[in-house]
Amino acid sequence: MNEQSIFIGAEALPALQALLARPAVSQVFVLVDANTQRWCYSLIAPYLPAGHQVIEIPAGEEYKTLATCETVWAQLTEARTDRHAVLVNLGGGVVTDLGGFCAALYKRGIRFVQVPTTLLAQVDASVGGKTGVDFLSYKNQLGVFQEPAAVCIDPRFLETLDPRQVKAGYAEVIKHWLIADAAAFAHHRYQSITSVDWENIIRESVALKQRIVAADPLESGLRKLLNFGHTVGHALESYLLTQPGREILHGEAVAAGMVCEAWLSHQKGMLDAAALEQIELLLFSLYEKVQFVTLETDAIADFARQDKKNAGTIINCTLLQGLGNGVYDQPITLAEIAESLRHYHRL
């Protein structure tokens, strides 16, 4: 996707309106979950064409499944949707990932527009053309690369979120600083999250991700940098998804994963102790510790066997060669992942 297809701020919803008004668009569907139907739909409704149809799915990571996709495809089929239709995905990472996946597969592909409503989706999930769903408790196990027709980012949607959701999204912003922008990390790490200029933060974070994605759209190399915190983070998130009542938000898992992977970077001589301390201080000032017991660390680590960056039996991870300098394809072992989790647990 070129930068002209991403609209941020006051231009976002008028751009959506203009795109959907094109004569080539035969039908418009809006995918929402229970939360965005209640809190966000009214904000975009004035910009939608008459006759659009709403498809609602339940809210929550546990519904990011093929079964939910089937309900979406069934409603599109019942409405006799053709290949000139557009699906507008109004929601956080679950809705934008799942909606993009549904659109990419329906009749071999219909256009879709991402209208992300959470900070995590605005700076990460909706940008870059990744779509997918969870499968057998593994995060994003099924998916395709498919660029949206546009991404329309309006920071006003953040006003509909509780503070926990905002902080979860902020983890992806911090990740961008740690892999590619040491100056931003140094500048912002003392700033209170309550005084952030969100539109500026979103613009900077999206621009950084877009530069990486443009250089490696299919994640064969450089784009793997964006997975910092996600090897351990996804393993932790996936494990807790199998434990009823212990589910955590994606950004909370990534924050924990960044602590673990920064520690692994230090253990391998890539990150000095002062930088590790700065990362740990920032992340623990923002996020409560994810609860697990040390006896679970091997079971959590085992989920990393299914990580998408792996090559055969080698678990590949993105680590830090200093602040602001991510290095991808760094092999780590299950034992090292488990030990990093024990380090996190001790902090």
Q: Tell me the catalytic residues.
A: 108, 130, 172, 209, 219, 223, 227, 230, 234, 250
Assign residue 128 a region (left: φ > 0; alpha: ψ between -120 and 50; beta: otherwise).
Answer: left
Q: How far apart are CA 176 and CA 59, in angstroms?
A: 27
Residue with token string 């351990």: 232
Q: How far apart are CA 271 and CA 323, in angstroms?
A: 8
Contact in structure between 119 and 161 (CB atoms under 8 Å): yes
- Count the neighbouring beta carbons within 10 Å of the beta carbon of residue 162: 8
- Count the neighbouring beta carbons within 10 Å of the beta carbon of residue 306: 17
Contact in structure between 247 and 116 (CB atoms under 8 Å): no
Q: Which residues contact 97 (CB under 8 A, 6 or more apart)?
A: 64, 125, 130, 131, 132, 133, 140, 143
Contact in structure between 337 and 243 (CB atoms under 8 Å): no
User: Can you say whether the dihedral through the CA atoms of 66, 69, 75, 79 is positive or negative?
Assistant: negative
- Count the neighbouring beta carbons within 10 Å of the beta carbon of residue 67: 8
